[in-house]
Amino acid sequence: MDMEQAKIPQATAKRLPLYYRFLNNLHSQGKLRVSSKELSEAVKVDSATIRRDFSYFGALGKKGYGYNVEYLLSFFRKTLDQDETTRVALIGVGNLGTAFLNYNFTKNNNTKIEIAFDANQERVGTEVGGVRVEHIDQLEEKIGDLSVAILTVPASAAQGITDRLVEAGVSGILNFTPARINVPSHIRVHHIDLAIELQALVYFLKHYPLNEPETEEDQ
């Protein structure tokens, strides 16, 4: 994101890819405009939040018209650097890493896993999802100028690999391991622990049940 957008609150910035994906779908269906209510139902963010988010980047919806899809899309494309593909490295070609390599990230946004690393000799030299797997010993040599890495190694290997990634110039890490990793303050880490997310969902279902949807008879 460029400097102009630096003032967007982080919570808003985190929702931008969500908006972008939905608007992209609308655009490919030939839709010209969208209301905040429609958006709200699709992305599950309340419409007051959407209006506030959009006001940060000067998109003011017109009453009875909604938002211009084309305008929003071109804004998001610019803001999210969608015109430029971000090349990403993946470390750890196990079950999860293999799934990511086979998953077509470019469908919804312009990121592309360009190289993968693993310690297992049997995987090194193979291609998974069209991406070549290199030996982890060659990380520094082969990572080039990539600045983003996905970490899908066992927890025990996470910190050591992280230190090497930082040293090699990576500035963003998407950490899928259960380990909390330490990085210098200029490095951004987003942590996604799938087991914890699932556990949290189950806990919330049990302790914070949502209201039943209203039926026709209720109205």
Binding residues vs ligand ATP (CB under 6 A): 91-97, 117-120, 123, 136, 152-154, 157, 161
Residue nearest to ligand ATP (CB): 94
For residue 29, give both structure tokens. Answer: 């269906």
Shortest distance in whole angstroms from residue 101 CB to ligand ATP: 11
Q: Are 138 and 117 in contact (CB under 8 A)?
A: yes
- Residue 96 assigned as binding residue: yes
Q: In the chain, what's the furthest Cα-to-Cα distance?
A: 67
Q: Are 36 and 66 in contact (CB under 8 A)?
A: yes
Shortest distance in whole angstroms from residue 103 CB to ligand ATP: 13
- Residue nearer to ligand ATP on the CB measure, 74 or 102: 102
**φ and ψ of 213, to 5 deg:** -65, 145
- Residue nearer to ligand ATP on the CB measure, 81 or 193: 193
Shortest distance in whole angstroms from residue 106 CB to ligand ATP: 22
The CA–CA distances, whole Å, from 143 to 17, 34, 84, 159 equal 26, 42, 19, 18
Shortest distance in whole angstroms from residue 204 CB to ligand ATP: 25
What type of residue sits at position 41?
E
- Residue 130 assigned as binding residue: no
User: How many helices (H) and strands (E) would you count in the chain?
Assistant: 8, 9
- Residue 129 assigned as binding residue: no
- Residue nearer to ligand ATP on the CB measure, 42 or 119: 119
Binding residues for NAD(+): 92-97
Binding residues: 92-97
